[in-house]
Amino acid sequence: MPVGYLDVPTGADPDRKSAMVRAIYEAVHEVYPFPDDTRIFVREWSPDAVSQNGLLGSEPARPVFMVHVPPAAGIDAKRTMLRKIGAAVGDAYDLPDFMTFVHEHPLDLVALDGGLLADDRQRVGDRTEASIGSARSGVR
């Protein structure tokens, strides 16, 4: 279920970008271990398409990552995930001021192919088991 959008400037090396999305996937999947359906969209912007502080193309674009996930991950698990994502983006794009937004959505507010994820017993079971396991290990 996790879906992420990374807004960055154009020009990253394809091999570094590939390593970056793999690292982001692994960081997210470790905290949100749903059946594989983690999507990451890399949206690249040319300098003339980015305004910062009201100025178009005035400085290197500062990357932003938004990730949509279910609730229930503990704060320590989120901290670890965000550090790993920050490091992966930093390795691919040596840019300042990387910002991440985590948007949490209950499974009864997310649909896949028209069906609520809350109705998918496999996903609900996996999420419940992951939450219980995380709580036992103190990560919740």
pLDDT of residue 122: 66
The mean pLDDT values, 10 residues at a time, for the chain of 140 residues are 94 94 96 87 92 84 93 92 96 92 94 89 57 40
pLDDT of residue 34: 78
Torsion of Cα atoms, 62 then 79 then 128 then 3, to 10°: 10
pLDDT of residue 51: 87
pLDDT of residue 127: 52
pTM reported for the whole predicted model: 0.82
Structure tokens belonging to residue 94 = 């040596």
- The full 3-state SS of 88-135, as one line of letters, equals HHHHHCCCCCCEEEEEECCHHHCEECCEEHHHCHHHHHHHHHHHHHHH
Q: How far apart are CA 53 and CA 55, in angstroms?
A: 6
End-to-end CA distance of the chain: 18
Which residues have a Cβ under 8 Å from the Cβ of 93 and sit 6 or more positions away?
8, 9, 12, 20, 63
